[in-house]
Structure 1
Amino acid sequence: MKRLLLHPIHCLAFGFGSGLAAKAPGTFGTLAAIPFVFAMQFTGLLTYTLITIIAAVAGLWICGYTARTLGVHDHPAIVWDEIAGYMIAMIALPFTWYNVLAAFVLFRFFDIVKPGPIGWCDRNLKGGAGIMVDDLLAGAASAIVLHGVHALLDLSL
């Protein structure tokens, strides 16, 4: 499996190796997203949003390609979906320790529990969409909750 990291598409799908963690690869994939989110904070909201859209759309192909290569629909090592989902969770939020932590916890919660349409997508979509869409929705749900909390507590965004 490690030899696949030499292939650029598989390296992305495996979250630069974070998905190869023996336990909780999705959690390690989410952790791998944090430095990228940090770096993107310096690009401005428009660029951050465009990069996130590109990561999400490209992820449909990246994850599908790697899944076909491995012969497994949603192999645990494929964590690009967690990276893109966490990018969505942090959209338009300041990079503070409490936002990073809250987005991490909420995203992992929605990704693991898969309530409502998140679970439906996970069970019914196939290919790259079947790998990506539930995590994109988990990221969106996390962002909605976080922005709602910020609005209720009048935290500066």
Structure 2
Amino acid sequence: MLGVAVTDSISKAPPSVWRNPWHFLAFGFGSGTLPKAPGTWGSLVALPFIPLWQLLPDWGYWLMLGVTMLFGFWLCGRVAQDLGVHDHEGIVWDEMVGMWITLWLVPEGWQWLLLGFLVFRFFDIIKPWPIHWIDRHVHGGVGIMLDDVLAGVFAWLTMQFAVWGWLWVRG
């Protein structure tokens, strides 16, 4: 039964995801085609990149965030336009960048990855102000990206409080 659900979901995904490299990237290397909660799948796909990004100096990670965010404005806008849908739920590049923002300057370790994942998903799903307003009123690639970038910033701030609290408790 699970195989049928996966097949049905993938068959409903735009076929261009598997032919067009821009669509493949925007759909998080295909993760946005998975059944139920594509944003969650896209967030999970972002996690294996974190140890690689953590090898960069702090300024290098920051530069990577700027490049992937600016690229995402273009990428998400282009793919949404190609598909004729403002913000196709399968476009998850924005969730990936949001996860990368969340985990900047966070210690290494699976516990931090798990906490960052949960905190980012919380802000991405709940969409407190101004994230909700931006999600409704800003369109195009900037609109697709900006709500997740802000969710990433909210999650990053939360993670920094957690890190500093953990360091304080550790002494």
Indicate whether the TM-score tops 0.5: yes
- Deviation, structure 1 residue 17: 0.3
| Residue deviations 1:84-103 (CA, integer Å, cap 9, x gap) | 00000000112211210111
- Structure 1: runs of 5 or more not aligned: none
Select the residue among 12, 28, 38 that pairs with 1:15.
28
- Deviation, structure 1 residue 27: 0.3
* TM-score, normalised with respect to structure 2: 0.87
Residue identity (%): 44
- Deviation, structure 1 residue 11: 1.3
Quick check: 2:16–2:23 contact (8 Å CA) kept in 1? no
Structure 1 consecutive aligned stretches of length 4 or more whose deviation exceeds 3 Å = none
SS of residue matched to 2:130: helix
- In structure 2, the CA distance between the partners of 1:94 and 1:152, relative to structure 1 (3 Å rule), is closer
Quick check: 1:121–1:130 contact (8 Å CA) kept in 2? yes
Aligned-residue CA RMSD in angstroms? 1.3
Quick check: 1:90–1:143 contact (8 Å CA) kept in 2? yes
The amino acid that maps onto 1:107 is F
- In structure 2, the CA distance between the partners of 1:5 and 1:44, relative to structure 1 (3 Å rule), is farther
| Residue deviations 1:67-96 (CA, integer Å, cap 9, x gap) | 001111110110000000000000011221
| Residue deviations 1:14-67 (CA, integer Å, cap 9, x gap) | 000011112110000000001111211112212111111111111011000000
Select the residue among 92, 100, 116 that pairs with 1:87.
100
Q: Which residue number corresponds to residue 112 of structure 1? A: 125
Q: Which residue number corresponds to residue 49 of structure 2? A: 36
**Size of the alignment, in residue pairs?**
156
- Structure 2: runs of 5 or more not aligned: 1-13
Q: Does 1:135 align with 2:151?
A: no
Aligned partners of 2:32 and 2:98: how far apart in 1? 15
Aligned partners of 1:20 and 1:44: how far apart in 2? 33
* TM-score, normalised with respect to structure 1: 0.94
Which deviates more from structure 2 when the two are superposed, residues 33-42 or residues 101-110? 33-42
Q: Does 1:46 align with 2:59?
A: yes
Quick check: 1:5–1:14 contact (8 Å CA) kept in 2? no
